[in-house]
Amino acid sequence: MPTDELISVAQAMVAKGRGILAADESSPTIKKRFDSINVESTEENRRSYRGLLFDTPGFEKHVSGVIMFDETLRQKAADGTPFPDLLTSKGVVPGIKVDKGAKPLAGFPDEKITEGLDGLRDRLKEYYDLGARFTKWRAVITIGHTIPTGFCIDANAHALARFAALSQEAGLVPIVEPEVLMDGSHTIERCEKVTEITLNHVFFQLMAHRVLLEGMVLKPNMVISGKDCDVQAGVHDVAEATVRCFRRSVPASVPGIVFLSGGQSAKLATQNLNAMNAMGDHPWELSFSYGRALQEEALRAWAGKSSNIAKAQKAFYHRAECVGAARYGKYTDAMEAA
Ligand code: 13P
């Protein structure tokens, strides 16, 4: 296993002031995003949209890596440069989502298990050859009256660990993503407990599978109130609960924690990350790997028109700059207006 390369790539992914752009929407998900702006999800439209993000002047100041979908990793910019080469030339690490999605877990109503392990070793080799240097696998944990079950947490933790071990074997840094969903009316306290238990199981399995913790990155949810909970915890409480939860369950040898935005607005996802970093030093870098929160303003500004590309790039750069400032705890409301 090329240990030094794994460690240096993982550290580059969580470099100070920068974070990760999750642009790895699967075909059904990107269709949903395009439907919201009345744009048809054709291969060319998907290529143009991703191309405008990757070509945004200066975005690499705030973005250390990009997670792509299989199709995108094989696509090219307008001048014919393959996307992984374009990103690498800007000092941005190209990555790839390798799971095949969360499917219903047989026998466990309303719970999911992520598929995609069969044949993964061969796919990883090809992704490395195409220029990817990191991978991502998302597991989904749902909170409900009687769920999550311990069985569902264990099954997903096991799959995450197998994915992580295979990725490192192939020289790719795994982003391990156990997402406790914000859907539901649960309190922030319940989210904290479920997130803590989930992370404990995930790290038990990662160690059992002999995964090098220094050569991986964790991508979790923040600890927040359920979307439909009557009492919504504020930014300060979210930051305190999230940091407390991770101190209890994430080894200090993990170089960085890159949060997903999970349906939080762009502004709230920025404020929450900022509050955590404003608390002072932590054992790991606290960073971002946002999909919706980094893209929603750019997507709306673009609206599928090439005449809007500059406007969309400006919106994307602005959000990346705000979240980049949140990496230092230096984001302010005034930056929103700028
Ligand atoms: P969101 O930030 O939109 O939750 O997406 C991140 C991601 O990659 C989910 O797998």
Give the CATH number, domain containing residue 228: 3.20.20.70
**Coil, strand or helix at 71:** helix
pLDDT number for residue 1: 56
Q: Which residues contact 321 (CB under 8 A, 6 or more apart)?
A: 61, 62, 335
Of residues 97, 112, 136, 219, which has the active-site annotation? 219
Q: d(Cα 149, Cα 178) in Å, to the nearest integer?
A: 15
Q: Which atom of ligand 1 is nearest to the CA of 292?
A: 3
Look up the domain containing 141 and give its range: 3-337
Is the beta carbon of 138 within 6 A of some atom in ligand 1? yes
CA atoms within 13 A on the CB side of 126: 9
Tally of structural domains, the chain? 1
Closest CA to ligand 1's atom 5: 291
Q: Could you tell me where the DSSP H helices lie in the chain?
A: 3-13, 27-35, 43-54, 70-73, 83-89, 120-129, 150-169, 188-208, 235-249, 266-278, 292-302, 309-326, 333-337
Q: Which residue has the tokens 């296993």?
A: 1
Best of 13, 114, 261, 268 for a ligand 1 pocket test (most atoms within 8 Å of beta carbon): 261
Is the beta carbon of 269 within 6 A of some atom in ligand 1? no
**Rg for the chain (alpha carbons), in Å?**
19
**Å from CA of 262 to ligand 1 middle:** 6
Q: d(Cα 315, Cα 337) in Å, to the nearest integer?
A: 12
Q: What is the mean pLDDT, run by run of 10 residues, along the chain of 338 residues?
A: 91 98 97 98 98 98 98 97 98 98 98 98 98 98 98 99 98 98 98 98 98 98 98 98 98 98 97 97 98 98 98 98 98 93
